[in-house]
């Protein structure tokens, strides 16, 4: 799940300065599930912008916001989209860029995208993946050392953890203690004996995947 949070209203209004007629888009997937761009949030943003003197030409919940051809088709059909001077997107950064690539008018983000995470409950999320391009979960008991370890270590703990907690943030469990316990339960502690090569950070940067 992609986790985001709404920008401050002041920042949103600053982006929209000089634009009177605004069209709003949300997203049916992550933004709806995590409540940063579903029907309720889009309706609330529309009301807020009206109070700020903006004219809302229309709204749509894209299904989803990150499929280019579908976004193009849905925007063309959406009532009010052609009358707008700008589009405000209540989705993740990917969704915002997809809309921007199809809209033909200025597009602005209503949200700040934070991370790929696990939903513990509505409003509480845990970062579990950084889309690093080289997944390590197969040998770490399903626990990501790149994300869950504050130092992103691949060859065991740093030595600074105390009582199973991270030395960088004592409120967090040490990822390598969690990995050890997971591997011990699976009978796979032998995994820890293999020295892992440094991460190739080039794999985390990819513009197009065929």
What's the fold here for domain 2-114? Rossmann fold (3.40.50)
Residues 44, 36: contact at Cβ < 8 Å? no
Instruction: Give pLDDT, residue 70.
Output: 95
State how beta strands 124-129 and 111-121 pair: antiparallel
Angle between helices 68-77 and 93-103 (to 10 degrees): 60
Q: Mean pLDDT by 10-residue block, N- to C-terminus, for the chain (210 residues)?
A: 93 95 96 94 98 98 94 95 96 93 93 86 79 87 91 92 92 94 92 90 61
Tell me which residue of 104, 14, 81, 21 sits closest to 56, measured CA to CA.
21
Instruction: Give pLDDT, residue 209.
Output: 44
First to last CA, the chain: 23
Instruction: Give pLDDT, residue 205.
Output: 64
Residue 165: partners with Cβ closer than 8 Å, 6 or more residues away: 171, 172, 173, 174
The DSSP-derived string for 152-166 is --SSS--S--BTTB-
Answering whether pTM is above 0.85, one says: no
Domain ranges of the chain: 2-114, 130-204
């Amino acid at each position: 799940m992609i986790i985001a949070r709404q920008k401050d209203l002041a920042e949103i209004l600053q982006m929209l300065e000089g634009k009177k007629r605004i069209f709003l888009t949300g997203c049916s997937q992550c933004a709806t599930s995590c409540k940063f761009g579903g029907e309720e949030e889009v309706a609330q943003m529309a009301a807020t912008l009206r109070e700020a003197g903006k004219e809302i030409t229309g709204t749509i919940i894209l299904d989803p916001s990150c499929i280019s051809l579908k976004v193009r088709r849905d925007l063309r059909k959406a009532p009010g989209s052609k009358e707008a001077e700008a589009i405000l997107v209540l989705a993740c950064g990917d969704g915002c860029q997809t809309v921007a690539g199809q809209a033909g008018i200025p597009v602005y983000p209503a949200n700040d995208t934070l991370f790929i995470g696990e939903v513990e409950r509505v409003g509480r999320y845990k970062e579990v993946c950084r889309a690093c391009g080289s997944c390590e979960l197969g040998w770490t008991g399903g626990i990501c050392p790149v994300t869950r370890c504050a130092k992103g270590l691949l060859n065991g703990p740093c030595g600074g953890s105390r009582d199973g907690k991270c030395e960088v943030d004592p409120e967090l469990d040490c990822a390598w203690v969690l990995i050890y316990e997971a591997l011990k339960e699976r009978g796979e502690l032998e995994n820890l004996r293999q020295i892992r090569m440094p991460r190739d950070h080039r794999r985390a940067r990819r513009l197009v995947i065929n």
